[in-house]
Amino acid sequence: MRSEGESRQQSIWEHREPEGGPGKPAPAPPEAPGEPRLQVLNRQQMAWRVVDVEQLIAEDHPARAIWQLVGKLDLSAFYKGIGAVEGEAGRPALDPQLLISLWIYSYSEGVSSAREIARLCEFDPAYQWLTGLQPVNYHSLSDFRVGHREALDKLFTEVLGLLSAEGLVSLQRVMHDGTKIKACAGGDTFRREEKIRVHLEMARQQVREMGDPQNEELSQRVAKARQRAARERQERLEQAEKELRTRRSTAEAQREARVSETDPEARIMKQAGGGYAPAYNVQISTDAAQGIIVGVGLSQSAGDWGQLNAAMDRIQEKLGRLPEQVVVDGGFTSREAILDMGRRGVDFIGAIADTTARAASQFARRGVEAAFRPEAFAYHPESDTYTCPAGKVLHYERKHRDIGVTDYYYRASAADCGNCEFRKNCCHANTNAGRSVVRAEEALAVAAFRVKMATDEAKQIYRQRGPVAEFPNAWIKTKIGLRQFRLRGLAKVTMETLWACLTYNIQQWIRLRWRALSVSGTG
Ligand code: SF4
């Protein structure tokens, strides 16, 4: 329904006379609006831009923190071997501070490919800020990553020293753990000796037949790349043959004398998610105070058994002292480890295996009923004998010493058991000898460890192990993306791991110190 005003307006419009008065032509109706006028995008143009490099990234960008921290470190070991020197002709070398900062920043962003870093240096503001807009060749990056083993190790130690000086490392409690990282090799690259010899001869033949790259019809770059690839394959196969020679001397070798042609130093290991794959066992020690990695090593052994001493050696070497306490899972906990840690003065918290359940299942398999298992036999210390459930005496027979434990063996006479009504429930498999039992006498330190691990305090400490020890493992795999190595061979994957752990520690420093200083304006 129209309002009164609208009706009046409508009436005026309908009866309005032409503007010039009666008899004059009516004015033209208003024009329709034109098409929208938009800015034209021209992607064919060439343009110069003014870039203020300092403004490429924010004041609190982590690239600045990395550059700043790396600049504080002694990089002299990286400068050794640089051919370009002042006063002589030639192209200047890339500054190790830049290459280290690039690698650490890229690892922190989950980039571990030299080619990808070189590409990012062309357009990514953080990489451009680090390089000062200079291009960086991926060969330089790639060579630098693996070319300075000792210097990199020293750098890791120096960063640890700096973190320790800033109060981020206490060594009061260290959690140690191992994690499997897949090798850069497929499971189908494992071959036996015979096959490797054939492939090695073929590779040598190929290298011999490859001519001088200077005379190749292909571009020299392609010819050189092919020759390098063939030479590297020959080297890998030679390494595989050498690995087989090393492994032949062990019992494991006789069962499993196969190595990977692609990465001869990798070993088949069970993976956390199930299944088996060529891998390395990365051993990481983490300080519980702030989660800083205080030691890192690589093992070709699938199990963690026996890895703890080496881990302690690494911490002592890097920080000049041992941790007050070390916490590990059952994979590391053995009588030997308990004794070793005791000798070194390190308080040891671990999960020692309970063998009761395993022993019970073994007895069940052998048809020994519950009423005739060792706990049903009474020991008499005064006579050093046992009495069986049928009242017969088992006399001391022999002993066997092992690390941290001595086993004493006692046996009933063949006649007693042969005439016993319980024989089928107790030792039906024994035809020529009587039933035996074993009394284990553990070293005092091992017994004391068992008592300690039964306390609430020790159990509470042990519960902290998982979150602390597994955090760096998870961070390295998810944030850095190191689920599989890019490099091959123990020496190179050790360096790849060192870069990842160095990056992890520097990230912790940024989180715990640099960001706080940036916020307070004192950084
Ligand atoms: S079989 Fe031998 S050890 Fe077992 S209950 Fe009989 S006598 Fe004792």
Least confidently predicted of 147-151, 198-202, 336-340: 198-202
Which tokens sit at 9?
Answer: 């307006």
Which residue type is seen at 166?
E
pLDDT at position 521 is 56
Residue 165 has pLDDT above 60, yes or no: yes
Cβ count near 7 (within 10 Å): 11
Contact 416 CB / ligand 1 (< 6 Å)? yes
Compute the chain's Rg from CA coordinates. 37
Least confidently predicted of 143-157, 213-227, 258-272, 298-312: 213-227
Residue having the nearest C-alpha atom to atom 7 of ligand 1: 417
Average pLDDT of the segment spanning 7-34: 57
How far is it, in rounded angstroms, from Cα 35 to Cα 236? 69
Q: How many angstroms is it from 387 CA to the middle of ligand 1?
A: 9
Contact 388 CB / ligand 1 (< 6 Å)? yes
Contact 435 CB / ligand 1 (< 6 Å)? yes
Q: How many angstroms is it from 402 CA to the middle of ligand 1?
A: 28
pLDDT at position 174 is 97
pLDDT at position 274 is 80
pLDDT at position 224 is 74
Q: How many angstroms is it from 355 CA to the middle of ligand 1?
A: 24
The atom number, within ligand 1, closest to the CA of 426 reads: 4
Q: How many angstroms is it from 401 CA to the middle of ligand 1?
A: 26
Q: How many angstroms is it from 413 CA to the middle of ligand 1?
A: 9
Gap between the terminal Cα atoms of the chain: 71
Residue 523 has pLDDT above 70, yes or no: no
Average pLDDT of the segment spanning 279-297: 96
Contact 412 CB / ligand 1 (< 6 Å)? yes
> 429-464: per-residue pLDDT in tens?
777 889 999 999 999 999 999 999 999 999 999 999
Contact 423 CB / ligand 1 (< 6 Å)? yes
Which residue pairs, CB below 8 angstroms and at least 24 apart, start in 69-76?
Answer: 69/159, 69/162, 69/506, 69/509, 69/514, 70/97, 70/100, 70/101, 70/104, 71/97, 72/162, 73/155, 73/158, 73/159, 73/162, 74/154, 74/158, 75/100, 75/151, 75/155
pLDDT at position 7 is 46
pLDDT tier at 202, thresholds 50, 70, 90: confident
Considering 35-44, 280-289, 361-370, the range whose residues carry the highest mean pLDDT is 280-289
Q: What percent of the chain has pLDDT over 70?
A: 86
Residue having the nearest C-alpha atom to atom 5 of ligand 1: 390
pTM exceeds 0.75 for this model = yes
How far is it, in rounded angstroms, from Cα 288 to Cα 327? 10
> 384-405: per-residue pLDDT in tens?
999 999 999 999 999 999 999 9
Considering 122-131, 203-212, 361-370, the range whose residues carry the highest mean pLDDT is 122-131
DSSP string, 268-279: EEE-TTSSEEEE
pLDDT at position 66 is 96
Least confidently predicted of 31-45, 252-266, 349-363: 252-266
The atom number, within ligand 1, closest to the CA of 389 reads: 5
Q: What percent of the chain has pLDDT over 90?
A: 61
The atom number, within ligand 1, closest to the CA of 434 reads: 2
pLDDT at position 81 is 75
Residue 6 has pLDDT above 70, yes or no: no
pLDDT at position 9 is 46
Helix axes 444-453, 335-344, angle to 10 degrees: 100
> 184-195: per-residue pLDDT in tens?
887 777 777 777
Contact 427 CB / ligand 1 (< 6 Å)? yes
pLDDT at position 249 is 60
Q: How many angstroms is it from 383 CA to the middle of ligand 1?
A: 19
Q: How many angstroms is it from 3 CA to the middle of ligand 1?
A: 115
pLDDT at position 163 is 94
Question: Under a CB-based contact definition with an 8 Å cutoff, are residues 389 and 371 in contact?
Answer: yes
Residue having the nearest C-alpha atom to atom 2 of ligand 1: 417
> 219-248: per-residue pLDDT in tens?
667 777 777 777 777 777 777 677 767 766
Q: How many angstroms is it from 432 CA to the middle of ligand 1?
A: 13
pLDDT tier at 519, thresholds 50, 70, 90: low
The atom number, within ligand 1, closest to the CA of 416 reads: 7
